[in-house]
Structures are given as C-alpha cells and as structure tokens.
Structure 1
Amino acid sequence: MKVHDVRLALDEILQRARANPRGRANADFGLLNDYSLGLGRYSGASPWERHRNGDELLYVLEGDVEITLLSDAGAEEREILRTGSLFVVPRDRWHQLITSAQVSIFFASPPESGAERTRDDPRGSK
C-alpha cells in the first residue's frame, strides 16, 4: 500500500517545472487498473492527442486551462477549465490544452499503447 502526498508532489513538480527550460514537469502515482495516474504542471500548448483505448480524466488543481476537442467531422468544442474543474475527455477524441500561465492537473490516462500525439493540427492545414 502506498499513500501519495499530493501537496508535496505539487511542490516538487513546481520546483522541477521552474528548473526546466520548457517549464514542464510530471509526477507519476502509478496505475489504477491500466490507467496512469499522476500530476502534470506546464504552461503553453500541449501536443494534440487522443486515446483510442479509453476516456481520460482531468482535474485542474491550480490555474485555468482551455481545452479544445475535435469532433469526428473536425468541428471544435472549447471549454475553460478552472481550478476545481473535473473533465472527462471521451475516448478517441483529439484534444489539446492551452494555458498562458502555469497550470497543475491531476490525470488518469488510459494505457500509452492507445495514445497518439502530434504537434500539428490533426485536421491538416486549417
């Protein structure tokens, strides 16, 4: 059995993010069933990603972040997630997170084997 101190982990990733030229850091809490649990801290834009093998859970611990989801037809849906927001990204939906300031997010992500990521817009040139 292992107890994770989330406040301590937040402090640690804050220090690591400050030391990282890209301002990013993660903390790994292990697995729940096959899902990876952890914390991420960053600013700017995440890569576009989708998970073909399950939904992804995002819980904003600190900061605000905009999430963009793409429909199968390529239409955009945008939401602002604020501190305390819980959001489930549906399986197989391209999504990207964008923030202008540091944000800390708890995540539960399906196995990496089903993930795709790209820095380019997955719709091609818009």
Structure 2
Amino acid sequence: MSVINLKQKLDLFQEQWTPKVIGELNGQHVKLAKLQGEFVWHDHKDEDELFYVIKGQLIIELRDQTITLNEGDMYIVPRGVEHKPIAKEEVHVLLFEPAAIKHTGNVEHKLTKDKLDWI
C-alpha cells in the first residue's frame, strides 16, 4: 500500500456522478466523486453511506429534511433512508461504503453505474 493523494486522484478524471474507487478495507470501498446537478432519489436497503465533502457544498435531500454539507463536513446516510444528493456547483466528495453497494440502490436510471473504475 502506498500514500494516496486525493488531489492527484481527483485530477485524473472529469466525469460527474461516476465514483472512482481509490482504496479498500474490511470489505469497504473508499471512493472519490465529482458531483454537479441533481442525482436520483434512491436508497440502499442494507448499507450505510458516508459522504465527506472535500470541495464545494453538497445538499442531501431526505424525505423529511435537508442536509447541507460544506467543505470538511461529513454525513452518514443510514441504510434504508431515501436520499437525493444535489450539487448546485461542482462538488468533490469522498465516499465510504460497502464494496457490494449498488450505485443507485434498486433504482435503474441513466446515471446508474454498474461497474466502477479503480484509479
């Protein structure tokens, strides 16, 4: 294992809503993603999902509240909770979630990614 520089990894891709795997530990993937616009409402029935904002501001809509994350903030969406990430301007996030998690849960959408790249 070697040191991973998040900025260098983020410079390797431009795609949005397409997480890239940068590490794995204990059955969990560590991912980086660039987000802009609105994602799709979805949930992960059996998995929690951690969002950590590196750059920008991320809004996570829940059915009963709105979570606003600024640089340096993190939030864990509990398993089974329907959510919709929104980024008015490009946001860089680190995600920590089980390796087997489905990108958009059981929702099939044009943004759904079935296979994620390692960088």
Cross-structure match for 1:61: 54
Instruction: Tell me if the contact between 1:64 and 1:80 (Cα under 8 Å) persists in the aligned partners.
Output: yes
Instruction: Tell me if the contact between 1:59 and 1:106 (Cα under 8 Å) persists in the aligned partners.
Output: yes
Aligned residues: 107
Instruction: Tell me if the contact between 2:47 and 2:79 (Cα under 8 Å) persists in the aligned partners.
Output: yes
Instruction: Tell me if the contact between 1:48 and 1:118 (Cα under 8 Å) persists in the aligned partners.
Output: no
Structure 2: gaps spanning 5 or more residues: 110-119
Larger Rg: 1
What root-mean-square deviation, in Å, do the aligned CA atoms of Structure 1 and Structure 2 show? Answer: 2.1
Instruction: Tell me if the contact between 1:49 and 1:118 (Cα under 8 Å) persists in the aligned partners.
Output: no
TM normalised by structure 2 equals 0.77
Q: Segments of 4+ in structure 1 off by > 2 A? A: 23-27, 110-119
Structure 1: gaps spanning 5 or more residues: 18-22, 71-75, 120-126
Instruction: Determine which structure has the larger strand proportion and give its number.
Output: 1
Q: CA deviation at 1:2?
A: 3.5
The reply on whether 1:117 has 2:110 as its aligned counterpart is no
Identity, % of aligned positions: 26
Cross-structure match for 1:83: 71
Partner deviation per Cα, 1:87-110 (whole Å, 9 max, x = no partner): 011111011111111000100122
| Separation in structure 2 between the aligned mates of residue 26 and residue 51 of structure 1, nearest angstrom | 16
Secondary structure of residue in 2 paired with 1:117: coil
Instruction: Return the letter of the residue paired with 1:54.
Output: E
TM normalised by structure 1 equals 0.73
Instruction: Determine which structure has the larger helix proportion and give its number.
Output: 1
| Separation in structure 1 between the aligned mates of residue 88 and residue 102 of structure 2, nearest angstrom | 30
